[in-house]
Amino acid sequence: MKGLRFAFPLLTSLLFCGMASAEDEPAASEDSCSYPTELLWHNEQDPGSFRLGVSVLNQDQQQMPGLKAANFKVFVDEQEVDRDSKSFRVQQSKNVFSEAEAAGDGSEAKTGVDPVHYDLYIAVDLTESMAETIEIKGQSKPRTKINFVANRIHELFAKEKLFDANDRVYLSGFTSRLEAGFMGETTADRKALADGLRGLLRFTPQGSDAALYQSMAFNLKTIRDGAEFYSGKDERRQAVLIVITDSFNGMQISGKRRISRCRDNDGLSETIRDQVRATTEATQGNFKLYMLAIGSPEETRHYLHEGKLSSRCNIRSTQQEVVDKRSFKTITSELHKGKGGFVGHPDPLRLLSVVQNQFESLRRAYEISYTAPEGVTRPNKFKVAVTIGEETCSDEVTEASGFIRQAKAQGKTKPQEIAFLLASLIFAFFFIPRSFANLSTVFSGSGESKPSPPKGKKKKKKRRRK
Amino acid sequence: MFRSLLVDNWLRFFFSPCLGALGGLVAWALYSASAGLIESPMLSDASQFMFMGFAIAVACNLLPSIQDGQGFMRTWLSGFKAGVVGGIFGLLVGLLIYLVSDLADMQSFLPRLIACLLVGTLVGLSSRITSLDRYTGLATLGGFLGGLLAILIWAILEMAAGAVTTAYVPLLVPMTLGFGIGATTYSLPSFVSGGNLTVLSGQFRGQAKKIQADDILIGNNKRQLQWVLPKWEGVQDPHARIEVKAEGKGYKHTIRNLCTKNVIVVRDGKKHRIKAKQTMPLQDEDVLVFATGRNYVKVRYNQNTSKD
């Protein structure tokens, strides 16, 4: 029968149409709100215990990072959930969007893709101290600081997990002068980055006076020169400068003269801060700066974070003990929230993880766990309100079906994929009985019995031959 | 093509449940595709059951026509006819469930069971509602048992793999329902059919045709006849008719030769030739030979309900 020959394309096309398992009809979200909020999914964890997936976008259409429980209000069947109870928890989770997808709710706006593209300018300290071998807990063997840094940078761009093909990168270094020859230009070509990182690893660290500010000034100027890329209306693109160092700045900004006293950096830091401000203005705020200092961000006898520095504070000796938190704080002091900052820690991997987490938090939605209010046994209306500053945005869903409730969506596989798998298995099954029959015929050596031709005809043939 | 897959093998008894499950998948796909367009929760619930009723009824009613060798249009028309009735019944069940879902927690076992039984019963009924004979009740009972089977499969899945089952419940529920209904609606009436014909030779060896309340016209024309056998095996258009006559509680079956060739009935090792337009009453275990010579089809007749 040809029925299934026609049925197969019909069924597959129908399954292709399988979209969201839309047991829930989301209420219209408030478009005019500055922080568009969307209730992505809800499910019952245990009896009476629920989880919600909530997306809150900032003005760049990225997830709004850093929101706390106090920012959220949850209503179940129009009764407010007690935020003070222990069960009320809010966290940014990387699983929220995958759960939305698994529940069949995977529209483009909900996939957790960062809509902003980035140009990353990475400046790495290449002075002798970066060649020191350090041991990091959890790592198989000790390596040089620069080795750890290069490997981690490579991981950040690998497999487009964090930065994709639209994100560009430029790698430079500094010793007592600017080392800008690792990459020709800012590029999205990952091979060029790999070559640059190889060059970085082959480079022999040298000197103890770091032309840190010269390198920063160079990168900041490059960003300002290309400011039109970051202020355009057609594309959301941001410039990000990441400085990785374990040294104090040891050179004038021009790079022509060495400086020796810690307090010489106070004035230079303010100059760099002014350049950072100018860069922020030129890019219309689309600029981030991360000052990552490998080492202890503490004070010494002569080096203080605040107040007037002693003339005895010598850069060469002090940078062997601590990192220059004082100067780096000054440089980053005028950055707005979420636009970078200073981080100091002896573990270079942890420093780069801080940056990684900040970028990941821009694509992670919120997961809220809570217990239903007393008296609510079978809720079907869920509402979430988010207050940021003085503005409140909200969204709600009403559960439509009482029979087949919204999936818990714990699997990573989409329902469409499961449906195709099951449909394929069923179609494959239809061929099994015939296959068995054919195999048994082959192995038993007896084909289907065909009626033997009548004997009379054979005899006639023989007669003709005679 | 698909008919030739229904070989003499016990696995072919899973074809109907699998088609039912496939119907469940289609129901899920239809509902998912339409969910974005439906805003009312009531219509959303109702459409969910409507699609389940429609797709499962279509899927579960394809196999008998396929096995009888009927053509593409006839197969799908009979499926769609049952599907429309099943869809209407499903819509009614959906509305009913929407109305009562405020009174009962549909996540509890009992309301779920009742809902499945309702859908199963009505889908079973839809497959035979146009004929309204003694088999209508059996198909309905089959649907009821299918609903029961579905809820059992669902419960077992939840016990065995609760998290996975819950994650994909919107597509697993229609599938289990389709599986259960497919397993029972198709098979139950066949257990009590008046007799059956089983092919003993050729391409469709092992396939069976249930003789129910109506006459069966046998031949090679898939557009008109009730039981189609291949032309290349010597079967003509039409070839013979199995005439059904109600007698007491059972049926009496007679074969009439409608073609120019002889039809042979082998009874107790002796050949009885039935000439054109002649008839012969059939007895249990008779072997009917359609066509003679190089190509022929052997069919065994079994009387089920009344051997006297």
Q: Where do the domains of chain B lie, and which CATH numbers do they carry?
A: 2-184 (no CATH), 190-307 (2.60.200.20)
* Bridge partners for A118 per DSSP: A238
Q: What does the block give as tokens for A389?
A: 């500053």
Is it the case that residue A26 has pLDDT exceeding 60?
no
Which range, of A142-146, B78-82, B150-154, B165-169, averages the lowest pLDDT?
A: B165-169
User: In A283-410, which residue ranges form alpha helices assigned H by DSSP?
Assistant: 315-318, 325-332, 348-361
Summary mean pLDDT of chain A = 81
Q: How confident is the model at residue B235 (pLDDT cuts 50, 70, 90)?
A: confident
Q: What does the block give as tokens for A45?
A: 């964890």
Quick check: A381 contacting B, CB < 8 Å?
A: no
Q: How confident is the model at residue A403 (pLDDT cuts 50, 70, 90)?
A: low
Q: What does the block give as tokens for A200?
A: 């970085």
Q: How confident is the model at residue B201 (pLDDT cuts 50, 70, 90)?
A: confident
Q: How confident is the model at residue B127 (pLDDT cuts 50, 70, 90)?
A: low
A39-70, pLDDT tens digit by residue? 888 877 776 788 888 888 887 778 888 888 88
Q: What does the block give as tokens for B39?
A: 């805003």
Total CB pairs under 8 A between chain A and B: 184
Is it the case that residue A290 has pLDDT exceeding 90?
yes
Which positions 423-462 of A are in contact with B (Cβ < 8 Å)?
423, 426, 429-434, 436-437, 448-449, 451, 453-454
Q: How far is A109 from chain B (nearest CA, A)?
A: 16
Average confidence (pLDDT) over A156-162:
77
Which range, of A174-183, A343-352, B100-109, B140-149, averages the lowest pLDDT?
A: B100-109
Q: How far is B58 from chain A (nearest CA, A)?
A: 11
Q: How confident is the model at residue B79 (pLDDT cuts 50, 70, 90)?
A: confident
Quick check: B98 contacting A, CB < 8 Å?
A: yes
Strand ranges of the sheet holding A117-125, from the earlier edge strand across to the other edge: A178-179, A168-174, A117-125, A237-245, A287-294, A340-345
Give the DSSP per-residue string, A263-309.
THHHHHHHHHHHHHHHHHHHTTT-EEEEEEEES-----SS--SSSPP
Could you tell me which of B19, B37, B129, B92 has the C-alpha nearest to residue A427? B19
Cβ of B166 and A4 within 8 Å?
A: no
Displacement of CA B82 from its chain's centroid (Å): 11
Is it the case that residue A12 has pLDDT exceeding 60?
no
Strands B208-211 and B195-199, by their bridges, are antiparallel
pTM of the model: 0.53
